[in-house]
Amino acid sequence: MGKILVFAEHTNGKLKRSSIELLHAGFNSGNEVAAVVFGTHGDDIVSALNQNGASEVHILKDGALDSYNPELYATNLISIIGKIQPAIILASASSVGKDLFPKIAARLNTGIASDCVSLNISGDNVTATKPMYSGKAIATVNFENSPIKIVLMRANQLPIESIDGAKSSKVVEHSLVASDLRTMIKEIVKGTSEKLDLTEANIIVSGGRGLKEASGFQMLNDLADVLGATVGASRAVVDSGWVGHGMQVGQTGKTVAPSLYIAVGISGAIQHLAGMSGSKVIVAINSDANAPIFQKATYGIVGDAFEIIPKLTEEFKKALHN
């Protein structure tokens, strides 16, 4: 049985939940799991990787990798892959994953399945499923003639069960392989939100044109604060300039798969559904009982969002914080 390499993403040294899901999937397959982590981080990330199933941790601790740079990441990851020789690579279908791994697959002349929602590993064989045509069809993907099978998984699709992590961990430190960079990051302007990115969030409260104007989002922010949720939006309100594009969910925005998605004043256009129909529980709040979103919703509330949301917020506050 070949080795599984997990590309572990972290935020300031804290392992992302999506990477923990991949480590557990690898560990539970019975294959040996190696993890690779880039950039500056504390030593505790090694024990976190170990506890979540990695028996081998490859570190490339260099400030040059703190921000994603496609060429530098690709050159260095290919060099490490050459040393580890994994049979399977698991990574998140994050913006970094979706940019980086097609390059890796092309350079290694191997197969890649992106944006997957389920995964089955049996020895060196991998089967994954992925939505196609904005979620209208689900494709089952197998690999042929692929020396390494690369799978990019959407977040929140794989279970994190309590595991008795790997017994011992070998830690290998790598040095940066310099690369002739054609692009470089000069500045990163961070958003103001302290909340989890939409693609990582477990609960999302999303608003649409039914909120009437930008100030309508204040009540969603209040509800999100009570629930510990991240706020998303439909394209209609992004195009109107009420909120930034980083909050857009859908075909031309982010693909999300939280445990709970609350759609407020969103009609449920196919392009919006394409980004959120993988959510486990969908609650729709809309004044029009015939809005298409109700066909996808697990629970629906027909009514005026301006009456319902403040009441919901109050009730959740009582239930969760008393």
Residues binding ligand FAD (CB under 6 A): 208-210, 234-237, 248-253, 265-267, 269, 271-272, 275, 285-288, 291, 304-306
Helical H segments across the chain, by residue range? 17-28, 44-51, 70-84, 95-108, 217-227, 235-239, 270-276, 293-296, 305-321
CB of 65 to ligand FAD, least distance (A): 31
- What single-letter DSSP state applies at residue 314? H
Q: Are 38 and 69 in contact (CB under 8 A)?
A: no
The residue among 8 and 231 lying less far from ligand FAD, judged by its C-beta, is 231
CA 151 – CA 290 distance, rounded (Å): 39
The residue among 86 and 268 lying less far from ligand FAD, judged by its C-beta, is 268
Token pair listed for 322: 């008393």
Angle between helices 217-227 and 305-321 (to 10 degrees): 20
CA 14 – CA 41 distance, rounded (Å): 8
The residue among 45 and 256 lying less far from ligand FAD, judged by its C-beta, is 256
CB of 293 to ligand FAD, least distance (A): 7
The residue among 162 and 290 lying less far from ligand FAD, judged by its C-beta, is 290
The residue among 86 and 250 lying less far from ligand FAD, judged by its C-beta, is 250
Question: Which residue lies nearest ligand FAD, judged by its C-beta?
Answer: 250
CB of 152 to ligand FAD, least distance (A): 20
Q: Are 70 and 103 in contact (CB under 8 A)?
A: yes
CA 305 – CA 169 distance, rounded (Å): 52
The residue among 288 and 315 lying less far from ligand FAD, judged by its C-beta, is 288
172 forms beta bridges with 58
The residue among 16 and 235 lying less far from ligand FAD, judged by its C-beta, is 235
CB of 275 to ligand FAD, least distance (A): 6
CB of 199 to ligand FAD, least distance (A): 14
Write down how long the chain is.
322
The residue among 157 and 267 lying less far from ligand FAD, judged by its C-beta, is 267
CB of 250 to ligand FAD, least distance (A): 2
- What single-letter DSSP state applies at residue 178? P
Q: Are 88 and 153 in contact (CB under 8 A)?
A: no
Helical H segments across 201-304, by residue range? 217-227, 235-239, 270-276, 293-296
CB of 303 to ligand FAD, least distance (A): 7
The residue among 37 and 309 lying less far from ligand FAD, judged by its C-beta, is 309
CB of 274 to ligand FAD, least distance (A): 7
Exposed e or buried b per residue across 65-104, where buried means at least 16 C-beta atoms within 10 angstroms of its C-beta:
beebbeebbbbbbeebbeeeebbbbbbbbbebbeebbebb
CB of 25 to ligand FAD, least distance (A): 28
Phi first, then psi, for residue 116 (nearest 5°) are -85, 155
CA 223 – CA 229 distance, rounded (Å): 8
CA 104 – CA 279 distance, rounded (Å): 29
